[in-house]
Structure 1
Amino acid sequence: MNFTPSFIKTKERAGNPIEDVRYGPVSQYMVCDLITFQEEQAIHEVISTLLKNKISGAPVVNLQDELVGIISEKDCLRVLIDDAYYNNPLFDRKVKDFMSPDVFTVTADTDLICVAKAFMESNFRRYPVVDEAGKLVGQISRKDVLKASLQLHSTTWY
């Protein structure tokens, strides 16, 4: 005997369909062993580290591991612009001069589908994961979400 389950159409579900589906918390998919930078670190060290490790950005933390910003390849491109247009030498510039201090973050219990939706609605490539005290505990990237999608079931049964 074959059994074909009846599917519930999205419009028939109660509530927000995105919130109805649980794919698991970010903590299951985030990277915890991160390269981080300090505000007072030389910007040329950051550029070298990004290139050496083939990463496009990293969190900036203070001595208490609290997130204070994020530095990306795009932020580092400003180094070239500053050097070319304003004749500002590279070697005396710090991370704090180029980092983005306003960072959008998620918590470890944020659902993966909410993060995927946030990536779709923004140009961000990564979200730092912080605890209640603002301490950095990991990072979730677009690539991490794509890797997770290969592990997830393609059908949700109701």
Structure 2
Amino acid sequence: MGIKSFQGARKQQPNSSEEFPFKVSDVMCKDLITFKPDQSIEQVIDILIKNKISGGPVVNENYELVGVISEGDCLKQISESRYYNMPMENDNVEKRMIKDVETIDGNMNVLDAANKFLESKRRRFPIVENGKLVGQISQKDILKVAMNLKGHDWK
């Protein structure tokens, strides 16, 4: 007596992420909260709390990406300020931001971007075109796409 499978016919799954129709630029956030290098850490903390975000890109006057600032960077500043008994108003974004920022290509397939998130352990990636910040994609943006597709039909 043979083993019978009770699985019905399945839709053909795409062979690669190249068949997936969404690019990073299709789902990235374009309306960004950005920070300036000369902003105070206190201003950043206030903006992070009010907007319920965990960080954001830092841009210069030409809207070129120069860094990223996060809650963790702010926490580090608070901790050091307390430890060394230094006033927080002496510190600014430029002193605390991460300057070596990894970006992601807006033409990248969303599934490939998901893998990049998994490999890098980052929460967000800025997207730069012609030297200017044009958007940002977060892990949550990719989760939203997956939920909209219900995870069963990746075509």
**TM-score of Structure 1 vs Structure 2, range by shorter chain:** 0.7 to 0.9
Correspondence for 2:22 among 24, 29, 37: 24
Q: Is the CA contact 1:32–1:139 (under 8 Å) kept in the aligned structure 2?
A: yes
Q: Residues 5, 41 of structure 1: CA spacing in aligned structure 2 closer, same or farther, 3 A cutoff?
A: closer
Q: Mapping of 1:66-145 within 5 angstroms?
A: 66-131=64-129, 133-145=130-142
Q: Residues 142, 6 of structure 1: CA spacing in aligned structure 2 closer, same or farther, 3 A cutoff?
A: closer
C-alpha deviations, 1:120-148, integer Å up to 9, x for none?
112211001111x2210011001111001
Unaligned runs of 5+ in 2: 1-8
Residue 44 of structure 2 corresponds to 46
* Alignment-mate amino acid for residue 145 of structure 1: I
TM-fit CA distance, 1:85: 1.9
Q: Residues 69, 129 of structure 1: CA spacing in aligned structure 2 closer, same or farther, 3 A cutoff?
A: same
Q: What is the distance in 2 between the residues matched to 1:150 and 1:127?
A: 20
Residue 151 of structure 1 corresponds to 148
Q: Is the CA contact 2:27–2:137 (under 8 Å) kept in the aligned structure 1?
A: yes
Q: Name the SS of the counterpart of 1:146 in structure 2.
A: helix
Q: What is the distance in 2 between the residues matched to 1:113 and 1:61?
A: 28
Q: Is the CA contact 2:20–2:154 (under 8 Å) kept in the aligned structure 1?
A: no
* Alignment-mate amino acid for residue 77 of structure 1: L
How many pairs are equivalent? 147
Q: What is the distance in 1 between the residues matched to 2:11 and 2:97?
A: 51
TM-fit CA distance, 1:22: 2.3
Q: Name the SS of the counterpart of 2:146 in structure 1.
A: helix
Unaligned runs of 5+ in 1: none
Q: What is the distance in 1 between the residues matched to 2:59 and 2:84?
A: 28
* Alignment-mate amino acid for residue 92 of structure 1: N
Residue 6 of structure 2 corresponds to none
Q: Is the CA contact 2:18–2:109 (under 8 Å) kept in the aligned structure 1?
A: no
